[in-house]
A and B are shown apart, each in its own frame.
Chain A
């Protein structure tokens, strides 16, 4: 089975700060001065209230697994796709990196692991916001 090819994200003016943050080991999301709610993925205009008064928020990069599914077939399998609910509120879609994918469970605490990317597969693209169990 061949290695998994991860398409490199293409930063744009709306999202550049997010990718820059990951390069520094920080998961940066957007929050809104008008309604006080955070959102992910980052947008210029707040999806909760429509205000343009959004600003970047450095998260602690911690959260818990909302749901997950381990892909068992195809290139690079097995790998774990998951939603992680950040302590700051928003859930994000990610991959979980762990020695034992079968031990991962809903409700488990996880933390950002941007260094866990497969550099060969990504090439020159930015770091990716993978997560890993907090204990690891």
Chain B
């Protein structure tokens, strides 16, 4: 079974909040659900499949389905960190193709700025060997950047261009957490957090969330919205593999990306817009190489000189400002990657960053810890004419 044209994204909603001290996390899920369903022209009653991950409070889908007032015949609580919601789009398409549901709702929300949130479940087999190490995301991704610099001569200035491009886009997003345009000098002169990553190499932390509605092609045609079809999807995981498979310069996207492109029957050269998970600048650089936008080791050269800036660069990316400048709700940027890709394909991005004739886009992400064990999910989306 191929997922090519198996399902369409009919609704997409990004919660406008970035700080929500007076709301609850379930409430944010509900507001995102309502927003995405309204965007699709559907209602809660139409939903027959529900997808959530560990950001959903309580007993996952069992708690949330009851809280939201849904009646569904299919649930999926696949968990793969921040890229989960990209993967959920593919899993929703699988369920739709198998006849298990026809209107799938995906929600994400959280309030890491307003409440203490548990990010990891206890009992991981690696915990006793890694918890005392102080492997935060900063040092984990920092080690990836350090090794990439060592093997390929990548520079901090090149990484900085990724943040610069995101900031150029964020200035046109009224909801962006960091709407100010920054320069390469601003990035490399910002305080060092974990070598070689500076403060401005890191994404924002935000309260908020988002939701997506994935429907069958038949239902998509009945809705008064542009039809955005899934063309291909890939997923993968990667870890140190007993200590013999460690390669911090290659992410699991080197597997998920080619799988998605093969299923879609397109190549990176065909892509008009790319949503690329940007927890850190290095996250973007590795994925660009791993998806085949440039050769391994050439990512630094590829991103330099504004090549990711919409309107002037060859590959416009994260035109909402991405996780680096706009939004990274609940430490999870997967859903906003899909949402901005849908905006671009519909022609609904901010006018200053809208890619002309944007009919083919990719959304790709990393979940977990890039420098230890992580997952990757990639989807390719097309606007039907």
Interface residues of A (CB under 8 A from B): 4, 6-12, 14-15, 29, 37-41, 43, 46-48, 66-74, 76, 79, 81-83, 85-86, 89-95, 106-107, 122, 128
Question: What's the Cα separation between A29 and B243 when bound, in Å?
Answer: 11
Q: How far is the CA of A43 from the CA of B192 in the complex (A)?
A: 36
A-chain residues with CB within 8 Å of residue B147 when the two chains form the complex: 66-67, 106
Q: List 7 A-B contacts (CB under 8 A).
A: A14-B125, A15-B128, A69-B146, A70-B194, A70-B195, A81-B140, A93-B133
* Residue from A12, A47, A66, A83 within 8 A of B241 (CB atoms): A47
User: B interface vs A, CB < 8 Å?
Assistant: 125-136, 138-140, 142-147, 150, 191-197, 240-244, 246, 248, 371-372
Work out how many contacts link A and B, with CB atoms closer than 8 A: 128
A83 touches B143 (CB 8 A): yes
Say yes or no: A10 contacts B128, CB within 8 Å: yes
Known: A73-B193, A91-B246. 13 other contacts (CB 8 A): A9-B128, A9-B129, A41-B126, A41-B130, A67-B150, A69-B138, A72-B193, A72-B194, A73-B191, A74-B136, A81-B134, A90-B243, A128-B132
Shortest distance in angstroms between B96's beta carbon and chain A's nearest beta carbon?
Answer: 35
Residues of A near B134 (CB, < 8 A) are 4, 6, 71, 76, 79, 81, 95
Question: Chain A residue with minimal CB distance to B198?
Answer: A72
Residues of A within 8 A of B192 (CB): 72
CA distance A122 to B139 in the complex (A): 21
How far, in angstroms, from A16 to B210 measured CA to CA in the complex? 44
Q: Is A67 touching B143 in the complex (CB atoms < 8 A)? A: yes
Give bound CA distance, A69 to B150, whole Å.
Answer: 13
Q: Residue on B with the closest CB to A12?
A: B128
**Residue from the list B129, B146, B193 in contact with A67, Cβ < 8 A:** B146
- B240 and A91 contacting across the interface, CB-CB below 8 Å: yes
Shortest C-beta distance, B271 to chain A (Å), equals: 30
CB distance from B134 to the nearest CB of A (A): 6
- Which B residues are in CB contact (< 8 Å) with A66? 147, 246, 248
CA distance A69 to B143 in the complex (A): 5
A82 engages B143 (CB within 8 Å):
yes
| Least distance between A46 CB and chain B CB atoms (Å) | 8
A72 to chain B minimum Cβ distance, whole angstroms, is 5
CB <8 Å contact, A71 and B128: no
Is there contact, CB below 8 Å, between A81 and B131?
A: no
> Given A67-B144, A91-B243, is A106 in contact with B150 using a C-beta cutoff of 8 Å?
yes
A71-B243 in contact given A15-B128, A66-B147 (Cβ < 8 Å)? no
Q: B131, A9: Cβ atoms under 8 Å? A: yes
Chain A residues near B244 (CB-CB < 8 A)? 37-39, 48, 89-91
Cross-chain contact A67 with B242 (CB below 8 angstroms): no
Q: Is the interface of A mostly helix, strand, loop or mixed?
A: loop
CB neighbours (8 Å) of A107 from chain B are 150
| CB-nearest residue of chain A to B246 | A91
A122 to B132, CA, bound (A): 9
Q: Which 7 A-B pairs have the closest CB atoms?
A: A90-B243, A69-B142, A39-B242, A9-B128, A81-B139, A67-B147, A41-B129
> Roughly how many angstroms separate A73 CA and B137 CA in the complex, as a whole number?
13
Q: Cα distance A41–B133 when bound, in Å?
A: 13
Given contacts A70-B195, A71-B139, A73-B193, is CB(A40)–CB(B243) below 8 Å?
yes
Residue of A nearest to B128 (CB): A9
Q: Cα distance A39–B131 when bound, in Å?
A: 19
Q: Shortest CB–CB separation between residue B137 and chain A, in angstroms?
A: 11
Contacts of A72 in B (CB 8 A): 191-195
Q: Which residue of A lies closest to B240 (CB)?
A: A91
Residue numbers in B under 8 Å from A67 (CB-CB): 143-144, 146-147, 150, 248, 371
Known A-B contacts A69-B142, A106-B146; A7 and B193 likewise in contact (beta carbons under 8 Å): no
> Which residues of chain A are within 8 angstroms of B138 by Cβ–Cβ distance?
69, 71, 73
With CB as the reference atom, state the residue of chain B lying closest to A70: B195
A39 B248 Cβ-Cβ under 8 A? no
Roughly how many angstroms separate A70 CA and B143 CA in the complex, as a whole number? Answer: 9
Chain A residues, Cβ within 8 Å of B371: 67
Task: Tell me the bound Cα distance from A100 to B242 in angstroms.
Answer: 30
- B132 to A48, Cβ gap below 8 A? no
Chain A neighbourhood of B128, CB < 8 A: 9-12, 15, 41
Residue contact A83 to B248, C-beta cutoff 8 Å: yes
What residue of chain B has the Cβ atom nearest to residue A30's Cβ?
Answer: B242
Question: Which B residue's beta carbon lies closest to that of A19?
Answer: B128
Query: With A and B bound together, what is the CA distance between A45 and B126 in angstroms?
Result: 14
Q: Give the distance in Å from the alpha carbon of A95 to the alpha carbon of B193 in the complex.
A: 17
Within the assembled complex, what's the spacing in Å between the Cα atoms of A66 and B148?
11
Closest CB in chain A relative to B136 CB, distance in Å: 7
- The reply to whether B131 and A90 form a contact with Cβ atoms under 8 Å apart is no
Hey, which chain A residues are within 8 Å of B139, CB to CB? 69, 71, 81
* C-alpha gap A15/B195 in the complex (Å): 32
